């Protein structure tokens, strides 16, 4: 279904896992809209990589935590590149702290960005997907949503919520040719995890951190025609850490 007239929207696509996903989808033939909040240069570099791959691309600024952003992002992507028939909910934040001292704002801000924004975007793109009888929704979760992690009650709740929401959406729209799945990474080598990678890599049975490209390859599969019967699933990418 990636015939150049259909668009994939990747939130948080200016760097790290999001940028790798945008490049993967472009290599697979999708036109890719790259959403970013602050990193305009990173988004421009990602779009440059998309264009070098021979695909169409554009960068769209917007904070997904703001309620109007979902409509604005999708409308801008459709105006530039065509119907959004693949959505990757990748944008996310964390604000760590122990549950006994975590403020309401710290809890709600993480939920708003990581979970509520993903719901708003999913709801918005489903309009065209239902009419097209085709769509791919992939949300980037975390193994923390499966096992918890000290100091991350808000982050764990948001990622566990993504899994439950995705399963429900999958059941609701499967008969219309739409799939919704989660990719749950473990330790991935990004700028955010760089200070911890060497220390934590020893805990991973694979004895290394994963790469953003390895996560992106899983997203590419779930967006492809080959994954048309994979629906409501959570694909763990963690080097056997949770095995």
Sheet bearing 84-89, strands edge to edge: 57-61, 31-36, 7-10, 84-89, 135-140, 178-185, 234-237
- Give, as one character, the DSSP assignment of residue 13: -
Residue 8 belongs to what H/E stretch?
strand 7-10
Number of neighbouring beta carbons within 10 Å of residue 51: 14
Count of helices and strands (H, E) across the chain: 9, 7
Catalytic residue list contains 155: yes
Rounded CA Rg of the chain = 17
Burial call 148-172: b when 16+ CB within 10 Å, e when fewer: eeeebbbbbbbbbbbbebbbebbee
Of the candidates 229, 84, 186, 3, the one whose C-alpha atom is nearest the C-alpha of residue 221 is 229
Is the CB of residue 111 less than 8 Å from the CB of residue 64?
A: no
Tell whether the torsion through CA atoms of 74, 179, 46 and 194 is positive or negative: positive
Catalytic-labelled residue, pool 21, 110, 155, 157: 155
Active-site positions read 155
């Amino acid at each position: 279904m990636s015939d150049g007239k259909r668009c994939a929207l990747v939130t948080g696509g200016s760097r790290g896992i999001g940028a790798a996903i945008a490049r993967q989808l472009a290599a697979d033939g999708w036109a890719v809209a790259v959403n970013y909040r602050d990193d305009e240069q990173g988004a421009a570099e990602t779009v440059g990589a998309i264009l070098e791959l021979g695909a169409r691309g554009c960068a769209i600024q917007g904070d997904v935590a703001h309620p109007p952003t979902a409509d604005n992002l999708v409308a801008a992507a459709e105006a530039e590149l065509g119907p959004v028939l693949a959505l990757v909910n990748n944008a996310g934040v964390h604000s760590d702290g122990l549950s006994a001292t975590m403020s309401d704002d710290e809890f709600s801000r993480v939920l708003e960005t990581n979970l509520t924004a993903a719901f708003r975007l999913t709801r918005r793109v489903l309009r065209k997907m239902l009419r097209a009888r085709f769509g791919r929704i992939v949300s980037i979760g975390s193994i923390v949503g499966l096992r918890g992690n000290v100091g991350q009650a808000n982050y764990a709740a948001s990622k566990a919520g993504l899994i439950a929401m995705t399963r429900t959406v999958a059941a609701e729209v499967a008969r219309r040719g739409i799939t919704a799945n989660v990719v749950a990474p473990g330790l991935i080598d990004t700028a955010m995890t760089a200070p911890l990678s060497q220390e934590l890599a020893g805990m991973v049975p694979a004895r290394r951190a994963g790469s953003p490209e390895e996560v992106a390859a899983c997203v590419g599969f779930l967006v492809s025609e080959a994954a048309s019967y994979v629906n409501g699933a959570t694909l763990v990418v963690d080097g056997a850490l949770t095995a």
